[in-house]
Structure 1
Amino acid sequence: MKSFKNKVAAITGAGSGMGRELAIQLAEQGCNLALSDVNESGLAETIQIIKNQGKNNVTITSQKLDVSDRAAVFQWASQVSKDHNQVNLIFNNAGIAFGSTIEGFEEKDFKRVIDINFWGVVHGTQAFLPYLKASGEGHIINTSSVFGIIAVPGTSAYNSSKFAVRGFTETLRQELDVMKCGVSATSVHPGGIQTAIAKSSQTNESVRSLGLDPITAKDKMSAQFITTAKKAASVILKGVRKNSRRVLIGPDATFVDLMQRIFPSFYQMLVGGLLLRRMR
C-alpha cells in the first residue's frame, strides 16, 4: 500500500497518543477514518482536531468501544464496512499497562491487561480480516512493544500481552503471505513514547520489593520516554508503505532489539543488576 488516499482506516485507541496521531496523519493524506476508543471525550477531541485542520474532505465515523468485548468489536467492524463501503487498514492500537510483581498481582488485574492488549488485537484482526480481503488491498497493524522483545521485572502482565501480540502477528503475516490474499500485517514495537499510557497505568505496592516506589514509578518512567506520538505515527505509516514485517520506534527500541540479539539471555542479568543497584 503505497498511498492512503481514498482508503479507509479503522483505528482503536484513537482518543489519545499514537492512535490520535495516526488518525491526524492519515486524514492529512486523504484517508477516511473509522475511529474507536473507550474514552468518548478523547475520541471527540481527536475528531475536532482533524476538523480544525480543515480536513473536511475525509469521512470520519466514531464508536465508543471496549476492545476486550469480542461481540462489540465484530459489530463495529460490520458497521464500519456499511458506513464506508470498504475497509483497507485496521490499527489494533488500544492498550493499557499495569505494574506488579508476579507474586503480588490479582488475577483480575492481570486478566484485564491480557483482555485489552492481546485479545483486543485478536478480536480486531479476526473481525476486520474478511473486509480487508474483500477490499483487495488491506493491511493489519498490531501494536506490540519493546517489551514484546525483552522482559523486565514488575511488568509481567504487560510483557506477556506484548510478547503474545508479537507471536500472533508474526504468525498472521506468514499465513497471509502464503494465502496471497492481498492483505499484509506489521508488528509495531514502540520504545518510550510520550503518551498517557504510563501515567494512566496502575502500580500496586508489591513493586516496593523491587526497589520501586509505586507512587513515583509512573512519573519516573514517563520522564524517560523520548519519542513523540507524532514521530511514532509517522514511522508506523512509513513501515506500512514499505510493507515492513516489524517496525521499531525510537532509538531505545533499536538499542533494546540489538541488545536482545547479542545477549538473548544475558540481558536479563543486566536489567536485574540495574534494579539491585537502585535498591542499594
Structure 2
Amino acid sequence: MITGAAAGIGRALAVELARRGARLSLLDHDADGLEDATRRCEAIGARVLAQVVDVTDWDGMQAAAAAVNSELGGVDLVFAAAGVIHRGSLLDSDVADVERVMAVNWRGLMYTVKAHLPAVVGSGDGRIVTFSSAYGLVATPKYTAYNSSKFAVRGFSESLRQELAGAGVSVTCVFPGGVRTSIIRNGSFAPSENRDAVIRGFEKRVARTDPEEAATIILSGVERRRARVFVGVDARLVAGLARLVGGHYQDLVPAVGRLLRRLRGRSS
C-alpha cells in the first residue's frame, strides 16, 4: 500500500514493486496522477487497486484499508509517502498553511499506519515504511512547518518500531535528501517569499537524486528491516552533521548562510 502514489517517490516505488510482482494498493488525492501511475503498473502486469483518498480523512483511510483487505486479501507492506511542503517564516505564514503541512505529513501518515496496522500485524511478516526527511534531522529557517512535521514523523516511527518489536513487523523511517519530485513546485509559500527563485534554487542545487534511484535505495533498506534509510549523499551528510555537532548546528547554519550571502554579494 502506497500513499502519495501519483508522483515522485511514491510512483517510483509503485512501478518498481510492480516489476517485482507485488499486488498494489495505490492511494492519492490527485485522480489524474493516480490514473497514470495505475496504468504504468498495470502495463507491467501488476494487479492494482487505486483509490482517490485524502490521507487527512480518517473515515476515508479506514474505508481504503477495508477495501484492500477485501479486494487484495490484506496488506503486509505500507509506504506512507504522501507529503506537502510550505516555505516562509512563521511571522509571515498563514496559520492554515502551517496546519495543512502538519495535517498531511504527520496526521495523514499516522492515519495511514493506524488504518492498515491490524492487517500488517496479522500478516506475520509486515513492514511499515514512514517518510521523514533530512529536515527531520536538522532544522532550517523558513521551514518551520515542514521541519516540525518531519521531526514528528521521526519520533512516531522510532516509538512504533519499539512497540512492534517481537510482533513480526519492522518500522523503517526514510530520510530523503534532495529528490527530483514536484513537492516544492506544488508547495505553498508565504507572501514574502520569491516562489520562482526558491523553486529554481531547489531544482538546480538541491534535487540531485532521481525518484527511481530513491525507490531502489528505500527498498534495499526495507528488505533489511533497517530502522533508518538515508536517501542521497546530502541526507547522509546531514545525518553525520547532526551526530557530530548535536544542537550546535542551530548556530552554524545561520552563520554559514550569512557567509554565503556575503560571498555572493562580492561576486555580483
Whether TM exceeds 0.5 here: the answer is yes
Q: Report the identity percentage.
A: 36
Residue 67 of structure 1 pairs with residue 30 of structure 2: no
The answer to whether the 8 A contact 1:201-1:218 is kept is: no
CA distance in 2 between counterparts of 1:134 and 1:260 reads 37
> Where is the helix percentage greater, Structure 1 or Structure 2?
2
Residue number among 14, 18, 28 corresponding to 1:23 in the alignment? 14
* Residues 181-200 of structure 1 aligned to structure 2 (within 5 Å): 181-200=167-186
CA distance in 1 between counterparts of 2:124 and 2:248 reads 45
Q: Secondary structure at the match of 1:103?
A: coil
CA distance in 2 between counterparts of 1:79 and 1:37 reads 15
Structure 1 residues 166-187: Cα deviation after superposition (integer angstroms, max 9, x where no partner): 000000001111xx22211110
Amino acid at match of 2:14: A
Per the TM alignment, residue 275 of structure 1 is displaced from its structure 2 partner at its CA by 2.8
Q: Secondary structure at the match of 1:270?
A: helix
CA distance in 2 between counterparts of 1:206 and 1:244 reads 40
CA distance in 2 between counterparts of 1:64 and 1:219 reads 30
Residue 145 of structure 1 pairs with residue 136 of structure 2: no
Amino acid at match of 2:122: A
Amino acid at match of 1:248: F
* Residues 258-273 of structure 1 aligned to structure 2 (within 5 Å): 258-273=240-255
CA distance in 2 between counterparts of 1:22 and 1:230 reads 7
Amino acid at match of 2:66: S
CA distance in 2 between counterparts of 1:258 and 1:189 reads 13
Residue 34 of structure 1 pairs with residue 25 of structure 2: yes
Residue number among 86, 105, 116 corresponding to 1:98 in the alignment? 86
Q: After the TM superposition, which parts of structure 1 deviate over 4 Å for at least 4 consecutive aligned residues? A: none
Per the TM alignment, residue 221 of structure 1 is displaced from its structure 2 partner at its CA by 1.3
TM-score by length of 2: 0.94
Paired position in structure 2 for 1:214: 195
The answer to whether the 8 A contact 1:199-1:222 is kept is: no
Paired position in structure 2 for 1:171: 159
CA distance in 2 between counterparts of 1:62 and 1:161 reads 26
Amino acid at match of 1:26: L
Paired position in structure 2 for 1:210: none
Count of aligned pairs: 261
Residue number among 119, 122, 127 corresponding to 1:131 in the alignment? 119
Per the TM alignment, residue 31 of structure 1 is displaced from its structure 2 partner at its CA by 0.6
Per the TM alignment, residue 220 of structure 1 is displaced from its structure 2 partner at its CA by 0.8
Q: Secondary structure at the match of 1:188?
A: strand
Give the stretch that moved more between structures: 100-109 or 147-156.
100-109
**Structure 1 alignment gaps of length 5 or more:** 1-9, 208-212
CA distance in 2 between counterparts of 1:205 and 1:276 reads 22
**Structure 2 alignment gaps of length 5 or more:** 263-268
The answer to whether the 8 A contact 1:199-1:219 is kept is: no
Paired position in structure 2 for 1:5: none
Per the TM alignment, residue 278 of structure 1 is displaced from its structure 2 partner at its CA by 4.9
Paired position in structure 2 for 1:155: 143
Residue number among 14, 21, 37 corresponding to 2:5 in the alignment? 14
The answer to whether the 8 A contact 1:149-1:257 is kept is: yes
Structure 1 residues 110-164: Cα deviation after superposition (integer angstroms, max 9, x where no partner): 1100000000111011101101111111111001000000000000000000000
CA distance in 2 between counterparts of 1:121 and 1:216 reads 30
Q: Secondary structure at the match of 1:104?
A: coil
Per the TM alignment, residue 50 of structure 1 is displaced from its structure 2 partner at its CA by 2.2
Q: Secondary structure at the match of 1:193?
A: coil
